[in-house]
Amino acid sequence: MHTLVKISWRNIWRNKRRSLVIMTAIALGLTGGIFISAAYMGLMNQTIEESIYTQLSHIQIHHPDFVNDKELRHAIAGAGDIAETLRNKDEVRAVARRSVTDGMVASPHLSSGVSIRGVHPEEERQTTSFHEQLEQGTYFTENGRLPSVVIGEALADDLQSQHGSRIVLTFHDARGEMISASFRVEGTFRSTASAYEKGNVFVRARDLAQLTGGDETITEIAILLKDEKHLESIQSALQQDYPELKIRTWNELAPDLEFVLEYTEMSLMWIIAVILLGVAFGVLNTILMSVLERTRELGVLLSLGMKKSRVFTMVILETVFLSLTGGAAGFAAAIVLINLLQPRGIDLTLIGGEALRDFGFSPILYPELELDFYLKVTVMIVLFAILAAIYPARKAIKLQPADAVRK
């Protein structure tokens, strides 16, 4: 077998120009396909990471009724003790308590439905990177006559309210009574998702408690883990410890992100498959020409007693070596290109990439791919090479030694 491998490798270099042409075609096709895949995967991973570290965290805890009715009356009993217990777990990086409720925001120009998120600023700093997204103003550092609110840039534009403007929030307290209060815009933030900017406002949890005339009403506990590999085990343990509460991971909180990620991975593999299918016809033609040129040589080998199975294997190996060599060049070029562009990213704002924010994506792409993607593509290259080699290999073993030697 070792001798057959050496012969097959040498055979692909007998016509260097033809082999290099098809290798180049394979390399260029894979370079483009892999780079496009890296861009898409980078986009999806950025979106998920952005959602986890600015919005969702890894795990959230709620009262079961809060899932369908986001009001302060669906509070988590003993939220403070639960949060303290979670902070002592080795797998947990940070925990944040929130008073979340649906309500209305109004300015002299517009009123709109929003999610009012009462937060503890120091806990949020440890749990999310939301405070790093400020465009104007500050993040709950000022204490004025009116309580502070931080709103998204998109919502600020709709309300025509900027830093220092006065807006009114309206919501129901834990007893179901309507409360309206004035807030001063302390800061505005910018998110990759314009819908998130328009649909959420942030206030201090203690300010909400003062308005409702009672203690803080915690409706959400967000958990950030040190390592996402503990996600399912932590969720199972928490569900056993607190069976009366709803424990959900980020992919349960945002199933659309999970679906899009899986769909993207599948779609990218199909893109690579189509590229390889197109290249496979070129490989087939190259190997077939090689077999036809060596008709007399193959006839001699068969006449000397070389088994047809070994001839078949030799042609298969030639095709696989040809494809893998071109594939390796494509991998190398794609990896270099990805590594060059990954640190600074690809800014799409100049070509309309800002519109991506309407769909929750960042206009700056940081291409990246996991190792398993390259392994899957390698397997696909081998499979397509074998498929492309079957016809030339069958052509070779069907030669009649006596007739082939005369050619």
Query: What tens digit of pLDDT does each residue of 289-321 get?
Result: 888 777 777 777 777 777 888 888 888 999 999
At residue 295, the pLDDT reads 73
At residue 399, the pLDDT reads 67
Residue 277 has pLDDT above 60, yes or no: yes
C-alpha to C-alpha distance for 383 and 210, rounded to whole angstroms: 67
Band of pLDDT at residue 86, cut at 50, 70 and 90: very high
Positive or negative, the CA dihedral 140, 143, 147, 152 is: negative
Q: Can you tell me whether residue 232 is helix, strand or coil? A: helix
At residue 407, the pLDDT reads 55
Residue 122 has pLDDT above 60, yes or no: yes
Band of pLDDT at residue 364, cut at 50, 70 and 90: confident
At residue 359, the pLDDT reads 58
C-alpha to C-alpha distance for 176 and 352, rounded to whole angstroms: 45
Percent of the chain with pLDDT over 90: 50
> Burial letters for 265-293: b for 16+ Cβ neighbours within 10 Å, e otherwise?
beebbeebbebbeebbebbbebbbebbee
C-alpha to C-alpha distance for 95 and 118, rounded to whole angstroms: 15
Give the other-Cβ count within 10 Å of 306's Cβ: 15
Instruction: Note the pLDDT tens digit of each residue in 128-185.
Output: 887 788 888 998 987 878 999 999 998 999 999 888 899 999 999 988 899 999 999 9
Domain map (residue ranges) of the chain = 2-51+257-406, 64-244
